[in-house]
């Protein structure tokens, strides 16, 4: 059956130079966007054995943080001799049979569409807002962390606007030539900061976290962001998802999968993790049991963009999705497929309003399979 869909285009905010999805070509060049940011000499050399060791202790570090948050303080009388640290063995499960096929379909579709995460996702905001005046890798890392801290309960588009507003204020009103830096964050008044990020969720709490984080980074981490999981999750408001994404994008350390609401939802939909899983953190652990490491970094923006444009949380567009004509997805909206070709322009217009991104290059589904 030939399935066609509306060519409605949802334009993203752009600057003078065009931005392309990093999935625009099927073959992704790693780190191609970061190349224009000058490398700095003080990046420590990361040895293989350190990376392996970090992977071993990831679960232990997160568990410790969780225990600190929930356990009551024990009486000194009951303190026992500390036990030697326990190494957590990472379980391994077989790769789900549908994984590679679904991955290939999604990757092909994503190569044709540009979504908010491609230009306004946390890893891309520092590049997008600083196109005219490139920043150092060290400043990139800080702005990445700030973007991530603002991103919880907030859409990429809103986060992008808040980061742009903050950058413009620091440069144009306060005279900080690099915009959002540890120095400018230490300088700004918390009330003014809250005003600048007012559009993001929990802005009041986040402005406090940002001020406190800048202080900690200056005093404890030589005015840079930590390159360890433990260091990152010690910062206020930073959890495992933010920490793993910061390590991947800021330090090129691949220690865990960044699981957000889209990765969580789609992983359950395709049976990659049990459907009963409620917590994205459990989803991360389940995925890491079988997903080959080379996918850990890519899977987040791949699925986030797919969830923003095609497999929406509400009103999924199976009529645009190449998976709908396969047996790979059990959640196909058959009712919608039966209506294809019978929808009025007005009905299509309403449906298309939910799509976040530019899907104008997503033509006939048959071409993508
Ligand atoms: S539910 Fe529909 S849109 Fe989502 S992956 Fe399955 S076929 Fe595609």
CATH number of residue 184's parent domain: 1.10.340.30
Run of H or E including 249? helix 240-251
pLDDT tens readout for residues 242-270: 999 999 999 999 999 999 999 999 999 99
Residue 130 included in any domain: yes
pLDDT at position 206:
98
Residue in 22, 112, 206, 241 annotated catalytic: 241
Residue 143 included in any domain: yes
Beta-bridge mates of residue 114: 358
- Nearest residue CA, atom 7 of ligand 1? 324
Q: Measure 266 CA to ligand 1 centroid, in angstroms.
A: 9
**What is the band of 228 on the pLDDT scale with cuts at 50, 70, 90?**
very high
Atom of ligand 1 nearest to the CA of 330: 6
**Does any ligand 1 atom lie closer than 6 A to the CB of residue 262?**
no
157 close to 58: Cβ distance less than 8 angstroms = no
Cα angle: 236, vertex 241, 245; to 5 degrees: 100
Residue 122 included in any domain: yes
Structural tokens at position 252: 């090129």
Query: Structurally, how many domains does the chain consist of?
Result: 1
Residue 165 included in any domain: yes
Beta-bridge mates of residue 358: 114
State what percent of residues in the chain have pLDDT above 90: 68
Residue 304 included in any domain: no
Alpha carbon separation from 273 to 257, 278, 290 (Å, rounded): 14, 11, 10
By residue range, what is the domain housing residue 129?
114-253
**Range 215-250 burial, b when 16+ CB lie within 10 A, else e:** eebeeebeebbbbbbbbbbbbebbbbbbbbbbbbbb
Q: Measure 344 CA to ligand 1 centroid, in angstroms.
A: 22
Handedness of CA 323, 328, 332, 337 (dihedral sign): positive
322 close to 5: Cβ distance less than 8 angstroms = no
Share the mean pLDDT of the chain.
83
**Does any ligand 1 atom lie closer than 6 A to the CB of residue 317?**
yes
Residue 162 included in any domain: yes
Residue 208 included in any domain: yes
Compute the distance between CA of residue 124 and CA of residue 127 in angstroms, rounded to an integer: 5
Q: pTM for the whole thing?
A: 0.77
Residue 39 included in any domain: no
100: helix, strand or coil: helix
pLDDT at position 152:
93
pLDDT tens readout for residues 132-149: 888 999 999 999 999 999
């Amino acid at each position: 059956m030939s399935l066609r869909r509306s060519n409605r285009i949802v334009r993203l905010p752009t600057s003078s130079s065009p931005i392309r999805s990093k999935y625009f070509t099927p073959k992704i060049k790693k780190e191609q966007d970061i190349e224009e940011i000058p490398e700095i000499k003080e990046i420590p050399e990361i040895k293989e054995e350190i990376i392996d060791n970090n992977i071993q202790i990831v679960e232990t570090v997160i568990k410790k943080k969780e225990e600190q948050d929930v356990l009551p303080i024990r009486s000194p009388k009951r303190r026992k001799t500390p036990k030697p640290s326990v190494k957590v063995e990472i379980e391994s499960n077989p790769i789900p049979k549908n994984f590679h096929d679904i991955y290939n379909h999604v990757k092909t579709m994503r190569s044709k569409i540009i979504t908010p995460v491609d230009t306004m996702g946390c890893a891309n905001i520092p590049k997008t807002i600083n196109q005219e005046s490139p920043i150092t890798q060290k400043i990139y890392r800080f702005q990445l962390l700030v973007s991530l801290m603002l991103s919880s309960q907030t859409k990429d588009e809103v986060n992008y606007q808040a980061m742009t507003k903050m950058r413009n204020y620091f440069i144009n009103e306060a005279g900080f030539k690099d915009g959002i830096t540890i120095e400018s964050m230490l300088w700004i008044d918390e009330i003014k900061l809250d005003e600048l990020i007012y559009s993001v969720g929990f802005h009041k709490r986040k402005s406090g976290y940002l001020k406190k984080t800048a202080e900690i980074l200056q005093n404890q981490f030589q005015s840079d962001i930590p390159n360890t999981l433990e260091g990152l999750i010690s910062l206020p408001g930073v959890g495992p998802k933010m920490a793993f994404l910061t390590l991947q994008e800021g330090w090129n350390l691949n220690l865990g999968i960044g699981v957000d609401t889209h990765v969580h939802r789609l992983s359950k939909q395709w049976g990659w993790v049990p459907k009963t899983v409620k917590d994205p953190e459990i989803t991360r652990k389940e995925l890491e049991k079988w997903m080959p490491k080379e996918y850990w970094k890519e899977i987040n923006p791949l699925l986030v963009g797919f969830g923003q444009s095609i497999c929406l949380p509400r009103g999924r567009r199976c009529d645009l999705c190449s998976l709908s004509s396969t047996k790979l997805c059990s959640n196909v909206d058959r009712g919608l497929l039966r209506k294809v070709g019978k929808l009025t322009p007005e009905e299509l217009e309403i449906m298309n309003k939910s799509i976040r991104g530019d899907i104008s290059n997503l033509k006939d589904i048959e071409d993508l399979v």
